[in-house]
Structure 1
């Protein structure tokens, strides 16, 4: 159920319940922002708070307030929220802590949070354990501390679970117009994606930045991504937790390779949400999206009057998903006309200082760099803090370039502190993005050029927890073969002598495996290329309870890994990568969330570093790529058929030949 958050986030009246220093700040900050609606204080022990006469109870209010800050202790918060819901309030911010976040220290905390949600009913609440929100568009806020926001006519929305990070972000001095700052706290009732959906209803919001600690309700996130794409509102995320491992006890290579962050990365990619990894680039990306929108391409131009800066720009972009394409003939001719024969022409461009201080000539020299195929033209200018006005020529030329070209333009200070505030305001007003930091500029351009649309199909839900056990390799292969996966001819033997008889019936070299182990190679329970007469002795050395004897697959082009793990937070994670015993050493993998299509599988295979080998390296024959795709689809079909029981599936290796793809080892964990 989506709640109506319009009264809470865009209130005509606000109320404070409680008191103390926090309460006084609520009223002070609300007045300071120029809120034009009614302000009420409910507290029987207080007289006047920041010029507002307090009333003794909710019954004394003239009508039900739109937005209420509940600043009382956690037990009282539950009853107050219930009272607000009964009188028809628009919503509440629950400031108190000691709810689910304190469950480890207080066994009653989780029950108290459940009581709070029940008391709220359909009335939306933020928190508990949160600071509230700032609406800088309307001057409406419930915020118990200082903040650095100022009134704006349009701007970006930022949502975070961390109140402290929210305070810090409001204090940014990078010229970013913040329309909304919303803290989510415990998200006991109203989720982060639900709040973001509500903010999409405000046409003054230009982009939404999400500081995410964890996902819940994948369907809601999918709805958010689809709707934001329909409305053309870019979403970006700063997802924390890359260092955590979601699965502590795993038996497959897949799980150890995927770790805890791969699911989050795959989900964001599936949702078409660009990801940043630090607060400065997060803010600069929002600024770029606010002023330019999504970039039309990842092709960049860099303009500076220093060879050192040109080289620095090129190096900073190295390894990122942006490029500095060579100049076209038309660009070269125009630049030569503007700069003469003494300047070496390239992209990034060092135009020297021949035209410096001549605004008309600077504009003419920069204009060819903002060509139609360029997604963003970067003008590198570090303003002197001694007298920034001396660099007025650069500011005016940048504004001229934007006006004449109509293309996305950014002025970038390589050192963030060398971008003056007044210059930032002036550039933004003229449609030019001021960016503080060259690294931040490249990361922002990469994120703003991220053009993947959200997948129309939501990811498969992870479903309930399950107590999984390991199937034998023979059982796993038989199960997957039933869904179309090709496996070697093989039989299970209970004794070494029986293994030898089976090997003899195959009439050639065989593979012998001891059953019941997840990592047979490490345990010495795999022998390949055995002749039938050598099988009995090899089996005796393994000391296994049973044995799998299989035909030997020869002439491989490459070995791949196909793995699926149940990620409780993100669904079912498919990992494709270089396979075999050196899987962890190569670390050549890519991950997607199920379900996937043939096209998505093919793209993922081609994204691997091993792809040239699969395609036929240096004239050698390539692998049967359609057979590889079919193998992945077979694994997916098996997982979908067993969603409520499956925990893990792995094929390692999948032997890829010129005519087939054969799973020579398989692992399944299921309830």
Structure 2
């Protein structure tokens, strides 16, 4: 059963336990104008900031909806147990020294287990958690300063870092924040469950997640499904992209994919828009709050500077933004208003000829907005009021807002520098229904994210293939055994023989058709060790090649050479620490690390997803037939990848990683000429 966080998130009564930290919470509650009951519990004080204290928890007049517990970790467990017994609505646990400190201080894990048991059915945030801010209802269950004002609607942010959460509240970008909830250790309630509960508030327009880890993947799937059903977009930052968690794995796939690829694939699969910086995170949430996901990528940029127009075009070149041409009727109307000197193009530099003529500026801006652009963006940096007079720019402000009112179009104003848009003008624009973006790079990234949000499908993805943590011991199957295992699921492999001596090799090779490939057995990366000989045309040459390898290995694998290859493809599957399985498709063979040309998906995958991923690769042009060369059999290639995925799904309880590299795509089929599988040892 999912926890009920409604009383905790929107309390009418709050109990506080502790000294100095509880004083801070009372100060914030009074400052925010919380009009519910405040019940400090402190036997050593008569009052806290004028609010009478209770001597003990037994003196509480009722079960509080929410509690802030700011005592030490042992006392925290006692307070939580008492609150749970009286059926309180929930609590935030501020104390540290639980599971997060286990590596430094013994006993943290045991204390956290005791805390969870003490809480029972009562929801708790943390421990090691600041708490929550509800700017809709003036609930500031928070023991520190914060910068958010009261709002009537806005975005909700769930953060696994209390300090990052504080920083976000201090933003001066005009983002209306409805909730900020710090997740802390997530001992009982994870970030996904918190975010899912926030979706129930109709005043919340979008959700932002600051994630250090994913936690319960099934809970994240449930949250994403609910967000999709409610039509509320989700934006996330996932830190730890540089973590080399797979440095000890055996395959090229693992070293190429890394932990960041699995995280990004997970978010994409669930329809969560991933961004990389806090600035872009806030700007994206703001644009989604004001306008929502964009229905298309057609953007019109408007400025009175050629430099700004050029910068917009240059900085947008590697994004999803599309600067479509004006319609013929627009071009004629704009030419009539702006005169012969102005070039009518998108991005548009309308020059300064009409500056100061608000009605004329309104007509021009309305003409730009009137057609089918998905978003019209005005580049506008305003003078700083402490040293300059911005009143001369009021004409542009008024004209943009008036044109927005006349057309009902989606409109944003973008300041090329974040500091060049004051809070005063930000509020004025937003009251007029115009989104304000602070910073050109950040604004363009936010627009691109809103375009991506608009492209998300409404179909529910299949539940992810998940498995438990990897065992300590694992074993690698030989190449022959790996290929044989995969061929049982429909993967085509070359005819081959194995031999433990040169005599056996030359005797058994008669069953094969030349040319053949000789490989030494025993090492994962055979090419680097000189254990691969290609295009061997006769038995004598086979013997020579085997004798050259004999100093390294005495066991051989010889197979018929796959000729007529169009492209070599890498297909790898690795088990991520989250328990998901990451499928990596890329350029294979000797080009794997050189090109780094990969696409990542999570299992299970559909054939259509595989085909689209293959087309996105740089080698996709080779597969389709490049400069008159024959095309690969894409159906056969897709089928080969599906066969590998089916093997992985069937062995997900033991699979650690597998790689087919290369899978040779040919005009009539796809054939795997090398494979490696690593499985957990059976206990």
Task: Calculate the TM-score normalised by the size of structure 2.
Answer: 0.97
How far apart are residue 282 of structure 1 and its match?
0.8
2:259 matched residue in structure 1: 260
1:260 match: secondary structure:
helix
Shift of 1:372: 4.7
- Of the structure 1 ranges 537-546 and 654-663, higher mean CA displacement relative to structure 2 is found in 537-546
1:459 is the counterpart of 2:464: yes
Q: Which residue of 1 aligns with 2:178?
A: 179
Spell out, residue by residue over 1:460-517, the C-alpha distance to the aligned partner (whole angstroms, 9 max, x if none). Answer: 1132322321000000000000000000111111111222223333232100011121
Hey, what does 1:471 align to over in structure 2?
Answer: 477
CA distance in structure 2 between the aligned counterparts of 1:648 and 1:640, rounded to whole angstroms: 12
Give the aligned partner of residue 629 of structure 2.
620
> Which runs of no fewer than 5 residues in structure 2 stay unpaired?
none
Q: Distance in 1 between matches of 2:98 and 2:536?
A: 63
1:510 to 513, 516, 519: 516
Indicate the SS of the match to 1:141: strand
Q: Is the 8 A contact 1:649 1:668 kept in 2?
A: yes
Aligned-partner Cα distance in 1 for 2:371–2:240: 39
| Alpha-carbon offset, residue 424 of structure 1 | 0.6
The equivalent position to 1:490 in structure 2, one of 474, 478, 496, is 496
The residue number in structure 1 matching 2:202 is: 203
1:272·1:455 contact (CA, 8 Å) conserved in 2? no
Paired position in structure 1 for 2:394: 392
CA contact (8 A) 1:521 1:581 kept: no
Structure 2 contact 583–602 (Cα < 8 Å) conserved: yes
Shift of 1:331: 2.8
Structure 1 residue matching 2:590: 3-state secondary structure: coil
Deviates more, 1:2-11 or 1:404-413: 404-413
- Contact kept, 8 Å, 1:264 with 1:570, in 2: the verdict is no
> What SS does the aligned partner of 2:663 have?
strand
Residues of 2 paired with 1:383 and 1:469: CA distance? 64
Partner in structure 1 of residue 12 of structure 2: 12
Query: 2:425 aligns to what?
Result: 423
1:140-155 maps to which residues of 2 (within 5 A)?
A: 140-155=139-154
Partner of 2:559: 550
Q: Which runs of 5+ in 1 are unaligned?
A: none
Q: Which residue of 2 aligns with 1:242?
A: 241
Post-superposition offset of 1:5: 0.2
Structure 2 counterpart of 1:62: 61
Matches within 5 A, 1:85-104: 85-104=84-103
CA distance in 2, matches of 1:556, 1:328: 47
**Contact 2:153 2:204 (C-alpha < 8 Å) held by counterparts:** yes
1:158–1:180 contact (8 Å) kept in structure 2:
yes
Residue 15 of structure 1, CA deviation: 1.1
Residue pairs, 1:178-327, within 5 angstroms: 178-327=177-326
Q: How does 1:402-417 map to 2 (within 5 A)?
A: 402-417=404-419
Cα pair 1:263 1:570 within 8 Å, conserved: no
Deviations 1:45-81 (A, max 9, x none): 1111011111111111110000000000011111111
State how far apart, in whole Å, the 1-side matches of 2:485 and 2:316 are: 47
Partner of 1:331: 330
Structure 1 residue 455, shift from structure 2 partner: 4.4
Cα distance in 2, alignment partners of residues 670 and 330 from structure 1: 65
Q: CA deviation at 1:329?
A: 2.3
Deviation at 1:88, TM superposition (A): 0.7
Displacement after TM superposition at 1:185 (Å): 0.8
Once the 2 structures are TM-superposed, how far is the Cα of residue 383 of structure 1 from its aligned partner?
A: 0.3
Residue of structure 1 in register with 2:547 after alignment: 540
Aligned residues: 670
Give the Cα separation in 1 of the matches to 2:403 and 2:629.
Answer: 51
**2:525 aligned residue:** 519
Residues 462, 360 of structure 1: CA spacing in aligned structure 2 closer, same or farther, 3 A cutoff?
farther
Q: Report the equivalent of 1:26.
A: 25
Q: Deviations over 1:494-551 (max 9, x none)?
A: 1112222233332321000111211111111110101222112211221323211100
Once the two structures are overlaid, the 10-residue window that deviates more, 460-469 or 647-656, is 460-469
* In 1, Cα distance between equivalents of 2:477 and 2:572: 15
- Structure 1 residue 111: deviation in Å? 0.9
1:564 aligns with 2:573: yes
8 Å CA contact 2:414–2:438 kept in 1: the answer is: yes
| Aligned equivalent of 1:123 | 122
Deviations 1:215-255 (A, max 9, x none): 01111111111111111111000111111022131110000
Distance, in Å, in 2 between the alignment partners of 1:324 and 1:218 is 38
Q: Report deviation, 1:141.
A: 2.0
Quote how far apart the aligned CAs of 1:43 are. Answer: 1.1
In 2: Cα distance, 1:508 partner to 1:411 partner: 68
Q: Is the 2:520–2:532 Cα contact (8 Å) retained in structure 1?
A: yes
Task: Measure, in 2, the Cα distance between the counterparts of 1:125 and 1:505.
Answer: 69
Counterpart among 440, 445, 453 of residue 438 in structure 1 = 440
